Amino acid sequence: MAGSLSKVKQLGRYPSLVAGLVVIAVLVGIALYAVIAIPYPEAVRLWRGEPGVWDESPRNAHPIWWDWFTRDRLPRTIIVSSQDEGEVHVEPLDDARKLVEVALPFRYAYDAFPGELTLFTWVTGGDQRTPISVSWDAPADGTIVLREDSVREYHRYFISQDRDLRDRLGVVPHRGLFADPQDAGSALEGVYLLMLKAEVPQDAEVEARLVVYGQVHGPFGTDHRRRDLTVALGWGAFEGLRFGVLAALVWQIGTVVPRAVSRRHKGRIDPLFQRLTDVHMVLLALPILIVIGHLSPGIGVLGVLIVLSLLIAATRVLRARFLPSTGAPYAGPARRSSTMMAAFLPSFVLVIPAFVFLGVALALFFGFHNPVLPCWGSVLHDASTHHAAYMGHYYKLIQPVVLLLLTALGFGLVGYSLHRIYHPMAETAE
């Protein structure tokens, strides 16, 4: 007990240990925030991305901090609704009908063009199809009629995908409608207005919402399905740390305890472990994993990896640490307990990031991950599948990689410091 207390008092002497604990605390804080702010059912619903969940989120938008490294002011998403900033004017007509005019004004104060434009309309209590007219008023070019059509009760007008409008403007609509007449390559700042006109029965109601999608969104950006990567990276921290700690615990129990028992009781157990380790050192693990991955993808690969990890050559180092205490006849229970802790704790901490990287590799290369809940590996897998680096979406690669490096740094500093605390003679020898 006194020896353990003395080890605790020595913690302040190692700045690397304090720095590692701070990094680990940050990762744990991210994981706890994700679990508390986004409960599991909500995280599953958000990541599935069913229709209507991410309709107002931009596609492949960079994080907010990306704007710090650019000269231009990148646009944020602007949402204008008839129930908020919009204005609704009603004019009675003949035959118990009325003309509803919905004005959706907004100020655009960015240097770059938006990513997309979409108009959402709702007509309640109207006819099966309602005739509408959509026009656009720019600060310099005046009024442009975007579309005249008849729509159903709920309609989404993807302005950026309107081919007829693109042919008239000569460029994609979300660029042509915001282009500066003096410089077509830059966006014109000012107040814009989208006007919606609809003829409906007297008891009908018309609502409209215009979404001007930005190029930056949220602290971590969005993916190709408009999903906020905050969900993926936050829950990925929780899933990664949970998998790393549990796998490291199983690994430690499967390596340290059997070898401690085998050295204590000797007999045939210790030679058996040594021969199995020799076999594993001769065989190449990668061809075995490829074969198992084709024969039994998913859980088969994970099972083989766990079994092989229990027989790695490094376990001989753990075995050797028990030799001094078990070989001495005067070694008491306290001495054996201290030796067990010295062999268990540093290696346990150091192996956690290895299993975190293993979980990411399984998701990235083998597709083995929770299909309804994201992780860092699934983010990297999606980024690789959709050519994020080629498309310029570097944030999809940078952010999970930085979190992985922080995981390795934090646990590495703590594990190395614990090794120095429990093995001061090795530090002196160095």
Q: Give the chain's mean pLDDT.
A: 81
Answer yes or no: do 27 and 79 share one domain: no
DSSP 239: H
Structure confidence at residue 361 (pLDDT): 84
How does residue 278 score in pLDDT terms, banded at 50, 70 and 90?
low
Structure confidence at residue 158 (pLDDT): 94
Q: Which of 188, 213, 238 is the last residue of a domain?
A: 213
Per the model's pLDDT, the better-predicted residue between 146 and 278 turns out to be 146
Per the model's pLDDT, the better-predicted residue between 55 and 291 turns out to be 55
Structure confidence at residue 259 (pLDDT): 61
Answer yes or no: do 341 and 408 share one domain: yes
Answer yes or no: do 93 and 234 share one domain: no
- The pTM assigned to this predicted structure is 0.79
Structure confidence at residue 118 (pLDDT): 95
Does 220 map to a domain? no
**Nearest CA among 360, 350, 353 for reference residue 397:** 360
Answer yes or no: do 89 and 174 share one domain: yes
The predicted-structure confidence for 281-324, as pLDDT tens digits, reads as follows: 655 555 555 555 555 555 555 555 555 555 455 555 555 555 55
Tell whether the model's pLDDT for residue 339 goes beyond 70: no
Does 53 map to a domain? no
Does 68 map to a domain? no
**Nearest CA among 370, 366, 359 for reference residue 290:** 366
Tell whether the model's pLDDT for residue 385 goes beyond 80: yes
The predicted-structure confidence for 101-113, as pLDDT tens digits, reads as follows: 999 999 999 999 9
Structure confidence at residue 213 (pLDDT): 96
User: Whole-angstrom Cα distance, residue 378 to residue 380?
Assistant: 5
Domain that holds residue 149: 73-213
Answer yes or no: do 278 and 422 share one domain: yes
Answer yes or no: do 387 and 239 share one domain: yes
Per-residue pLDDT, averaged over 221-248, amounts to 92
How remote is the C-alpha of 10 from its chain's centroid? 37
Structure confidence at residue 334 (pLDDT): 44
Answer yes or no: do 90 and 190 share one domain: yes
**Nearest CA among 58, 360, 357 for reference residue 66:** 58
Question: What is the tally of structural domains in the chain?
Answer: 2
**Nearest CA among 88, 99, 103, 174 for reference residue 137:** 103
Torsions phi, psi for 5 (to 5 deg): -65, -40
Quote the crossing angle between the two packed helices 2-9 and 333-361, to the nearest 10°: 50
Does 131 map to a domain? yes
Structure confidence at residue 120 (pLDDT): 95
Does 61 map to a domain? no
Answer yes or no: do 23 and 81 share one domain: no
Does 151 map to a domain? yes
Instruction: Give the domain CATH number at 208.
Output: 2.60.120
Tell whether the model's pLDDT for residue 407 goes beyond 70: yes
Cα 401 to Cα 101, 224, 258, 394, 406, distances in angstroms: 50, 19, 35, 11, 9
Structure confidence at residue 424 (pLDDT): 66
The predicted-structure confidence for 166-199, as pLDDT tens digits, reads as follows: 999 999 999 999 998 888 888 999 999 999 999 8
Does 63 map to a domain? no
Does 64 map to a domain? no
**Helix (H/G/I), strand (E/B), else coil: 349:** helix
